[in-house]
Amino acid sequence: MNNTNKPNYTILIFSVVLGIFMAGQFKQNIPSFAPVTLRSIQITKNDINSLEKEIEDLNKMIADKEEQLKLLESITNGDENVLDVLHSELEKNKTVAGFQKVEGSGIVIKMQDNMAEGAFGEENDLDVVHDIDVLRIINDLRGAGAEAISVNGQRVLSTSEIKCGGPIIRVNGKSLAAPFSISAIGDPKLLNAAINAPNTYAYALKNVDQINIETTVKDNIVIPAYNRRFNYKYAKPIKEGD
């Protein structure tokens, strides 16, 4: 009787150990799923949008390179005049650099100090348009896709300084006084939203500091060319092979 039960105990113990071992293996193979939240969905959506924008930019770059290749091939075959191609490229580069007068649809922004009695704030400088105000609005316009910007007729480039000079501001070395007229060419809806949408810098200036800001959407805006010259003292171009 005792001899018969001993193998059964052995099999029972072996089965329990084997069951524990298999259960551990199954537990290790179960995939873990992170909880999906609105924040994770938004982050993933932003990543997808960034990748799509990068792909779009790369496709445009490829298209530009293919167009340049066709031009070079046509010049080689004698179908294009070299001088005409060079002149066309020069005009294109002048437009991109801001040395060409341009026109197109966009918005015009008029900024003026708050001259009303009992203006908001005890300090006078809260009701005055400062250089930083003009600069931040220009940056918001650039972020909204503005292709050309001017302030009181002065073309604004990446190298243009905008700084305070007492009751005036200086742009491209020129003294400009209020009211300030900022013209921007681009998608009128996006540019208008960059100024008038809640939580924008211009919206706060208008509704908190009571600065007078008026925006006008126009179908045709003319922005002059940059009329100064760069004097490079320290930066030098790197030639191929250097």
Whether residue 16 is predicted with pLDDT greater than 80 in this model: the reply is no
Over 123-144, what HEC string results? CHHHHCCCHHHHHHHHHHHHHC
Architecture of the domain spanning 102-223: 2-Layer Sandwich (3.30)
Pick the most confident of 13-27, 46-60, 80-94, 186-200: 186-200
Nearest to 169 by CA among 133, 120, 142, 202: 133
Binned at pLDDT 50, 70 and 90, residue 77 comes out as: confident
Per-residue pLDDT tens over the stretch 177-225: 889 999 999 999 999 999 999 989 999 998 888 889 999 999 999 999 9
How would DSSP label each residue in 60-85? HHHHHHHHHHHHHHHHHTT-S-HHHH
Report the range of poorest mean pLDDT among 33-42, 106-115, 204-213.
Answer: 33-42
Q: What is the mean pLDDT of the chain?
A: 81
Which stretches does DSSP call E strand in the chain? 102-112, 148-151, 154-155, 162-165, 168-171, 174-176, 180-185, 212-223
Whether residue 159 is predicted with pLDDT greater than 90 in this model: the reply is no
Report the range of poorest mean pLDDT among 10-14, 155-159, 187-191, 205-209.
Answer: 10-14
Per-residue pLDDT tens over the stretch 39-68: 778 888 888 988 988 898 899 889 888 887
Binned at pLDDT 50, 70 and 90, residue 96 comes out as: confident
For the question of whether the overall pTM of this predicted structure is more than 0.85, the answer is no
Whether residue 176 is predicted with pLDDT greater than 70 in this model: the reply is yes
Whether residue 155 is predicted with pLDDT greater than 90 in this model: the reply is yes
